[in-house]
Amino acid sequence: MRSSYRSAVRAPIQTVINVADAVLPGHRPVSGQLVRRSLWGALPSTPAARPDTINRLAITVDLDYQKDTDVLVRLVDLMGRCGAPLSVAAVGALVEADPDPYAYALAAGHEIVNHSMTHPDNPILNLDEEFWNLTKERIREEIGQAQRVYEERLGIRPVGFRTPHFKDTHKMLSVLSEFDEIRYLSSVLATTSPLGAEPYFPSAADRTWGQQLSPVESGDRVELLQLPLTACPSHRWSPFCSWHGIRDGGGQGSGMHSLAEWEALWARMLTDRTDDGLVVVYFDPHDLLRDADTEAAFERMVRLAMSSGWELHTMADIAEAYRGLATSPERSGVSS
């Protein structure tokens, strides 16, 4: 992937963007939309190098509803039986409402990840906003208020951020730079990232996408590492997640696999990704613990990964491992 991503992924995407902008006069330029609603305007010219021969797997969970909080203790106990860590993407408002399960997860050694204060476009907490349409001031509130809640209720300030609904916006980079403790984000799908599965530092200095796609503001932080999410082997436009895989009645694109099929896809994905040495997946806890069969299948999946050579790590630990060898703009002498 490293040697071929430029020709295999990036060039065709740029071509599609250019053609779309040329043939759709009067419409908002596709390139402009991508810059506003992604981090594509901030791509560096090279992804980060795999640091060593260790195969790293991050199991992350996004808790968007109280029903996810309600099963967190059971999930922590399941992971404890396996001896495996979790990265827990927590919504500030839900932590404030019911902090004890999150404190339990933290005490068991799991990581808490900032998933915003109100999760814009959440039907219960904040139906009226979408993350990629927020002003910088609102983004600052969403990230900062959540950091304060974690600090007050749990005694920690998370080092990672995951965008609600993965609705990245370029504006968030400079806002995230105001939070010195935040070291990484995980908000892009590996198969739709022009840089593929490998982590990268969104760069303020690089302009290789051309002027259309690089309105990167000076002062944007460049040492924030992006950890892409791994896709379903059968559906490259969807992450390997429980909503896509097994959710009942979740709308279009959800529940695409039987439980048995999903478990088999897990094994296939781990085999497919061995050369990359990195898998990042996310699940909704209320899906994993919806019934005894699903819970048992998930536990088998965790144990299969561990017995087939994958080391489970938090995203924070993975970010630090890649940070050691990744080519950041500062390292290559480019100042922002």
Nearer to Zn ion, 56 or 162 (CB): 162
Stretch of residues binding Zn ion (CB under 5 A), selected from 13-21, 62-70, 147-155, 322-330: 62-70
Provide, rounded to whole angstroms, the least separation between the CB of residue 85 and Zn ion.
20
Nearest CA to 240 out of 193, 199, 189 is that of 189
Contact residue for Zn ion among 42, 43, 62, 316 (CB under 5 A): 62
Provide, rounded to whole angstroms, the least separation between the CB of residue 232 and Zn ion.
3
Binding mask 215-234 for Zn ion (x = CB under 5 A): -----------------x-x
Q: Return the residues of window 255-274 that contact Zn ion according to CB under 5 A.
A: 256
Question: Helix 292-307 crosses helix 72-82 at what angle (to 10 degrees)?
Answer: 30
DSSP state of 48: P
- Residues in the interface with Zn ion (CB under 5 A) total 6
Distance CA 294, CA 41 (A): 40
3-state helix, strand and coil shares in percent for the chain, rounded to the nearest 5: 40, 15, 45
- The H or E element spanning position 195 is none
41 in helix, strand or coil?
helix
* CB atoms closer than 10 angstroms to residue 275: 11
Stretch of residues binding Zn ion (CB under 5 A), selected from 39-47, 58-66, 196-204, 297-305: 58-66
Provide, rounded to whole angstroms, the least separation between the CB of residue 122 and Zn ion.
7
Q: Evaluate whether 263 touches 245 at the Cβ level (below 8 Å).
A: no
Nearest CA to 182 out of 156, 164, 152, 218 is that of 156
Nearer to Zn ion, 40 or 131 (CB): 131
Shortest Cβ contact with Zn ion: which residue? Answer: 232
Q: Report residue 189: phi and psi, to 5°.
A: -90, 130
Nearer to Zn ion, 166 or 322 (CB): 166
CA triplet 7, 310, 248: central angle to 5 degrees?
80
Nearer to Zn ion, 128 or 180 (CB): 128
Contact residue for Zn ion among 31, 50, 64, 179 (CB under 5 A): 64
Nearer to Zn ion, 31 or 122 (CB): 122
Nearer to Zn ion, 20 or 259 (CB): 259
Q: Is 142 in the site for Zn ion (CB under 5 A)?
A: no
205 in helix, strand or coil?
coil
Q: Which residue has the tokens 């968007």?
A: 64
Q: Is 235 in the site for Zn ion (CB under 5 A)?
A: yes
Stretch of residues binding Zn ion (CB under 5 A), selected from 1-9, 106-114, 182-190, 248-256: 248-256
Instruction: Summarize as ranges the residues that interact with Zn ion (CB under 5 A).
Output: 62, 64, 232, 234-235, 256
